[in-house]
């Protein structure tokens, strides 16, 4: 069944379908290729009529029968999971939503916004369903706004951002789960009757066990370059939940939003609760198109400094851990310059005097330089960096506190902790209560103070190593169920202030590896740290996972000493597919490797416009065999770069030619291209030949080898 047909089945499947509405009652929300159509039926309720490929003739939508109610509520005719559930003070917890008005407006940034206002005919609840469409990127954003228009408080128990309905034959869900150092593993499951939920309850972050995005193959398993597919993510740096529920008729509902777990919110008279955005795209040509929709949209509309380039960096974390002093750091700054790197990033361990941060057991919260490590302060380092022509970046973890810290001693009331129980710790630390405006000020001041004292700081790595534990807010007192939501809102308030005051600052979002990987966070951050696992073989999988919705310039990828059995070139080539960084000392490498890295960084700088701004095509998945390949095609000149990796090729593969051939993608079939292997260990380039785009995409080239842990980079230049 195609997307266009998917709703035809609803007519026979639904018991409660109202009569065919006339065209005037349709609310049509279209992007360049897709459309969502709602209908106000004779009973004045809103139904999802269609979600699929855009039809050329709008009046054709009126011939499609209605599907289920747009936003299913608790307590009415439906027997499955509702999107909205409101508890009224009289004990009646039912909600019915009838249509009031809708408006469509074109916003200045080229997006189109549709607001559908619904209200309960009996109670004074109002729910707005808001869509923003980015037509050229085929990206839709949906959220709801729930307003209490009565005189008494109401409690909202479930408050989804979006509910979408499907009536395809089969559904195949790809999730991206894992753990610390093993993030974003892709696996696909066929959905059967019942409910499947992807959610987290980590409080400070969305991710760690399951990334806040999914792919849903409609009718058939998702493929890279073919097939109908919904890809969705929630813009929320906290607890999220995606519910996929297949009912007894094989219809699927997808409910996305904040995880309502332990998070009922009370709305006072006149108060509105605005839910985070569910961001999604529909592709009729597989995962690749959906990814490129997300990448382009993110660069143009969501990601902070989305169309600016990114700095290469040298981080000292794995080079020194906590064991450093001014001398050592100055040496590393010199090494950054020697390698040709843009920025030196000082990681954890530079602060704390009563409780010096010599390990992760103490000092967090005390943001003054440790005097015996850095007697001349951060200023001596920013000066050294400036003298070397290298920018300076600094690690902070401002939302957290070690119990062994002056901050904890002074301000235990700012800490999320249970007043009447023993504390337990995640990485020896606790979370500060960002629902409290005083704590928001304190966190803002950490950055403000550092920037005032050291205006040469160009970058922060903002870490967040603990989920919320010991959950109790001294500030929220009798409203503890607000904490999960208000924490994240408090964080955004701080980030907004920082962005407003320091608009040039670039920041990496980090959360004990890849714990924070969401698009609302990326409104404030220029990039994120996908994983503490920098073994390049593992990274092929982790980066593969995150590349499904995040563009290369957001994915920090560092060359380290993890998995020393891999050549430095292999590690570097994996990292070149993202935002390249290094996290090692020069004496971790041979002189030959240092020379290679210097050339690789020059190559990367030349390729940045293609890798960071271009179209990404995943050519061969590491999940499929012993090789992997990805290419990037430049937007302007159509030149491309291809990265190929031989992981653990098997001898027999030589005869299975198709496994050794790489078919390129995204080229102009009519144009001719020169293919050259570049970035070779010995510094030479090797010509592969000249080919038409059609040849490269149809016949392909034998770019893989049978050498273990081997990598190659090919430049594909349009003639
Ligand atoms: C966790 C991060 O993921 C690491 O990169 C490093 O910054 C450490 N925290 C420092 O404590």
Q: What is the pLDDT of residues 201-255, one digit of tens each?
A: 999 999 999 999 999 999 999 999 999 999 999 999 999 999 999 999 999 999 9
- Calculate mean pLDDT across residues 13-41: 73
Q: Is residue 696 within a helix (H) or strand (E), and if so which, with residue range?
A: helix 693-698
Work out the pLDDT band at 4, boundaries 50, 70, 90: very low
SS3 at position 291: helix
Distance from the CA of 545 to the center of ligand 1, in angstroms? Answer: 21
- Does ligand 1 come within 6 angstroms of the Cβ of 484? no
Which residues lie across from 101 on neighbouring strands?
A: 117
- Does ligand 1 come within 6 angstroms of the Cβ of 538? no
Q: Which of 179, 352, 510, 533 to mutate to test the pocket of ligand 1 (most atoms within 8 A of CB)?
A: 510
Give the per-residue pLDDT at 462. Answer: 98
Give the per-residue pLDDT at 328. Answer: 98
Please tell me the number of Cα atoms within 13 Å of 190 on its side-chain side.
8
Give the per-residue pLDDT at 108. Answer: 86
Q: Is residue 441 within a helix (H) or strand (E), and if so which, with residue range?
A: helix 437-453
Give the per-residue pLDDT at 650. Answer: 75
* Ligand 1, atom nearest to 347 Cα: 7
User: 585-607 burial, b for 16+ CB within 10 Å, e for fewer?
Assistant: bbebbeeebbebbebbbebbeeb
- Does ligand 1 come within 6 angstroms of the Cβ of 513? yes
Q: How far apart are CA 617 and CA 525, in angstroms?
A: 25
- Does ligand 1 come within 6 angstroms of the Cβ of 544? no
Distance from the CA of 120 to the center of ligand 1, in angstroms? Answer: 49
Distance from the CA of 350 to the center of ligand 1, in angstroms? Answer: 13
- Calculate mean pLDDT across residues 520-526: 98
Give the per-residue pLDDT at 296. Answer: 98
Q: Which of 516, 466, 538 is nearest to 181 (CA)?
A: 538
Mean predicted lDDT score pLDDT of the chain:
95
- Does ligand 1 come within 6 angstroms of the Cβ of 395? yes
Residues of the chain with pLDDT > 90: what percent? 93
| Range in 23-32, 129-138, 341-350, 406-415 the model is least confident about | 23-32
Burial environment of residue 74 by CB neighbours within 10 A (0 to 12, 13 to 18, 19 or more): middle
Count of residues in the chain:
719
pTM for this structure?
A: 0.96
- CB atoms closer than 10 angstroms to residue 250: 17
* Ligand 1, atom nearest to 531 Cα: 3
- Does ligand 1 come within 6 angstroms of the Cβ of 350? no
- Does ligand 1 come within 6 angstroms of the Cβ of 528? no
- pLDDT of residue 6 exceeding 50, the answer is no
The two structure tokens encoding residue 534: 């920098």
Distance from the CA of 598 to the center of ligand 1, in angstroms? Answer: 26
Work out the pLDDT band at 2, boundaries 50, 70, 90: very low
The two structure tokens encoding residue 285: 């040509």
User: 650-668 burial, b for 16+ CB within 10 Å, e for fewer?
Assistant: eeebeeeeebbebbbbbbe
User: 181-216 burial, b for 16+ CB within 10 Å, e for fewer?
Assistant: bbbbbbeeeebeeeebebbbbbbbbbbbbbbbbbbb
- Calculate mean pLDDT across residues 436-448: 98
- pLDDT of residue 24 exceeding 80, the answer is no
Distance from the CA of 464 to the center of ligand 1, in angstroms? Answer: 9
Distance from the CA of 520 to the center of ligand 1, in angstroms? Answer: 21
The two structure tokens encoding residue 28: 């049509």
Give the per-residue pLDDT at 10. Answer: 37
- Calculate mean pLDDT across residues 450-469: 98
| Range in 30-34, 414-418, 653-657 the model is least confident about | 653-657
| Range in 8-12, 180-184, 564-568, 611-615 the model is least confident about | 8-12
Distance from the CA of 562 to the center of ligand 1, in angstroms? Answer: 15
- Does ligand 1 come within 6 angstroms of the Cβ of 465? yes
Which residues lie across from 559 on neighbouring strands?
A: 582
Give the per-residue pLDDT at 652. Answer: 65
- Does ligand 1 come within 6 angstroms of the Cβ of 317? yes
Distance from the CA of 170 to the center of ligand 1, in angstroms? Answer: 42
Work out the pLDDT band at 363, boundaries 50, 70, 90: very high
- Does ligand 1 come within 6 angstroms of the Cβ of 397? no
* Ligand 1, atom nearest to 513 Cα: 3
| Range in 108-117, 417-426, 646-655 the model is least confident about | 646-655
- Does ligand 1 come within 6 angstroms of the Cβ of 284? no
C-beta of residue 62 within 8 angstroms of C-beta of residue 29: no
Q: How far apart are CA 677 and CA 482, in angstroms?
A: 56
Q: How far apart are CA 640 and CA 459, in angstroms?
A: 30
Distance from the CA of 512 to the center of ligand 1, in angstroms? Answer: 6
* DSSP code string of 171-218: EEEEEEEEETTEEEEEEEEE--SEEEEEE---SS-S-SSB-SEEEEEE
Residues of the chain with pLDDT > 70: what percent? 96
C-beta of residue 70 within 8 angstroms of C-beta of residue 174: no
Q: How far apart are CA 351 and CA 366, in angstroms?
A: 7
Work out the pLDDT band at 17, boundaries 50, 70, 90: very low
661-670: per-residue pLDDT in tens? 999 999 999 9
Q: How far apart are CA 411 and CA 27, in angstroms?
A: 53
What residue owns the CA closest to ligand 1's atom 9?
512
First to last CA, the chain: 42
Q: Which of 313, 347, 426 to mutate to test the pocket of ligand 1 (most atoms within 8 A of CB)?
A: 347
- Does ligand 1 come within 6 angstroms of the Cβ of 347? yes
Please tell me the number of Cα atoms within 13 Å of 479 on its side-chain side.
15
SS3 at position 72: coil
- Does ligand 1 come within 6 angstroms of the Cβ of 511? no
The two structure tokens encoding residue 320: 């020194």
- Calculate mean pLDDT across residues 627-637: 95
CA angle, 397 then 401 then 402, to 5°: 120
Q: How far apart are CA 605 and CA 620, in angstroms?
A: 25
Q: How far apart are CA 310 and CA 506, in angstroms?
A: 9
Contacts of 362 (CB under 8 A, 6+ apart): 352, 355, 356, 402, 404, 405, 428
Q: Which of 508, 529, 559 to mutate to test the pocket of ligand 1 (most atoms within 8 A of CB)?
A: 529
C-beta of residue 259 within 8 angstroms of C-beta of residue 269: no
* Ligand 1, atom nearest to 461 Cα: 7
- pLDDT of residue 23 exceeding 70, the answer is no
Q: Is the dihedral of CA 462, 379, 594, 588 positive or negative?
A: negative
- Scan for tokens 């022509």, then name that residue: 389
Distance from the CA of 200 to the center of ligand 1, in angstroms? Answer: 21
DSSP code of 137? G
Give the per-residue pLDDT at 624. Answer: 87
Number of separate helices (H) and strands (E) present in the chain: 13, 36
The two structure tokens encoding residue 429: 């630390």
Work out the pLDDT band at 660, boundaries 50, 70, 90: confident
What residue owns the CA closest to ligand 1's atom 2?
512
Q: How far apart are CA 21 and CA 38, in angstroms?
A: 10
- Does ligand 1 come within 6 angstroms of the Cβ of 583? no
Q: What is the widest separation between alpha-carbon atoms in the chain?
A: 79
Give the per-residue pLDDT at 11. Answer: 33
* DSSP code string of 345-382: EE-S-SB-SSS--SSTTS-TT--SB-TTT-TTHHHHHH
Work out the pLDDT band at 12, boundaries 50, 70, 90: very low
Q: Which of 73, 69, 48 is nearest to 126 (CA)?
A: 73
| Range in 213-222, 358-367, 429-438, 701-710 the model is least confident about | 701-710
Distance from the CA of 168 to the center of ligand 1, in angstroms? Answer: 44
Q: How far apart are CA 279 and CA 9, in angstroms?
A: 26
- Does ligand 1 come within 6 angstroms of the Cβ of 181? no
């Amino acid at each position: 069944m195609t997307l266009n047909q998917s709703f035809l089945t609803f007519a026979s499947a639904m018991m409660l379908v109202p009569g065919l509405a006339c065209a005037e009652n349709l609310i049509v929300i279209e992007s360049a290729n897709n459309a969502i159509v709602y209908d106000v039926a004779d009973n004045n309720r809103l139904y999802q009529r269609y979600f699929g490929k855009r039809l050329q003739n709008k009046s054709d939508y009126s011939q499609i029968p209605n599907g289920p109610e747009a936003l299913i509520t608790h307590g009415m005719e439906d027997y499955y999971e509702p999107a909205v559930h409101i508890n009224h003070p009289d004990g009646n917890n039912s909600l019915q939503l009838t249509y009031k008005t809708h408006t469509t407006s074109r916003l200045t940034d080229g997006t189109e916004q549709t607001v559908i206002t619904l209200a309960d005919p009996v109670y004074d609840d109002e729910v707005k369903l808001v869509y923003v469409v980015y037509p050229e990127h085929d990206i839709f954003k949906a959220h709801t706004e729930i307003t209490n228009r009565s005189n008494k408080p109401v409690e909202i128990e479930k408050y989804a951002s979006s509910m979408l309905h499907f009536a395809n034959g089969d559904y195949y869900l790809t999730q991206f789960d894992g753990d610390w150092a093993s993030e974003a593993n892709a696996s696909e499951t066929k959905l059967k009757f019942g409910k499947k939920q992807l959610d987290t309850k980590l409080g400070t972050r969305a991710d760690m066990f399951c990334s806040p995005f999914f792919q849903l193959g409609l009718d058939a398993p998702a493929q890279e370059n073919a097939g109908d597919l919904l890809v969705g993510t929630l813009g929320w740096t906290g607890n999220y939940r995606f519910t996929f529920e297949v009912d007894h008729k094989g219809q699927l509902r997808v409910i996305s939003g904040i995880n309502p777990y332990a998070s009922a919110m009370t709305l006072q008279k006149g108060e509105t609760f605005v839910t985070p955005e569910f961001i999604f795209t529909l592709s009729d040509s597989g995962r690749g198109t959906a990814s490129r929709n997300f990448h382009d949209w993110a660069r143009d509309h969501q990601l902070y400094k989305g169309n600016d380039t990114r700095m290469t960096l040298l981080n000292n974390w794995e080079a020194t851990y906590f064991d450093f002093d001014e001398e050592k750091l100055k040496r590393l700054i010199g090494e950054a310059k020697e390698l040709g790197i843009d920025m030196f990033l000082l990681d954890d361990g530079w602060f704390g005097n009563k409780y010096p941060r010599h390990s992760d057991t103490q000092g967090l919260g005390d943001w003054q330089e440790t005097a015996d490590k850095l007697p001349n302060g951060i200023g001596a380092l920013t000066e050294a960096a400036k003298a070397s022509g290298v920018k300076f970046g600094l690690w902070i973890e401002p939302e957290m506190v070690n119990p062994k810290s002056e901050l904890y001693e002074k301000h235990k009331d700012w800490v999320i902790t249970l007043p009447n129980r023993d504390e337990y710790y995640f990485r020896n630390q606790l979370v500060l209560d960002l629902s409290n405006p005083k704590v928001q000020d304190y966190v803002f001041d950490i950055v403000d103070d550092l920037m005032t004292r050291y205006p040469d700081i160009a970058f922060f790595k903002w870490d967040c190593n603990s989920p919320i534990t010991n959950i109790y807010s001294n500030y929220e007192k009798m409203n503890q169920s607000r904490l999960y939501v208000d924490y994240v809102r408090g964080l955004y308030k701080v980030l907004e202030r920082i962005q407003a005051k320091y608009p040039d600052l670039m920041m990496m979002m980090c959360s004990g590896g890849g714990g924070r990987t969401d698009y609302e966070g990326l409104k404030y951050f220029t990039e994120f740290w996908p994983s503490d696992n920098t073994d390049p073989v593992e990274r092929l999988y982790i980066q593969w996972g995150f590349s499904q919705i995040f563009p290369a310039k957001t994915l920090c990828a560092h060359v380290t000493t993890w998995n020393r059995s891999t050549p430095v070139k292999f590690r570097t080539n994996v990292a070149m597919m993202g935002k390249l960084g290094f996290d090692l000392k020069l004496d971790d490498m041979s002189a030959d490797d240092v020379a290679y890295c210097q050339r690789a960084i020059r190559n990367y700088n030349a390729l940045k416009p293609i890798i960071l701004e271009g179209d990404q095509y995943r050519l061969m998945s590491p999940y499929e065999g012993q090789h992997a390949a990805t290419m990037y095609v430049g937007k302007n000149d159509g030149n491309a770069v291809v990265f190929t990796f031989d992981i653990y090729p098997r001898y027999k593969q030589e005869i299975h030619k198709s496994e050794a051939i790489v078919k390129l993608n995204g080229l102009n079939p009519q144009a001719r291209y020169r293919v050259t292997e570049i970035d070779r260990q010995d510094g030479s380039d090797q010509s592969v030949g000249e080919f038409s785009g059609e040849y490269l995409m149809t016949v392909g080239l034998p770019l893989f080898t049978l050498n273990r842990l081997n990598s190659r980079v090919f430049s594909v230049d349009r003639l």
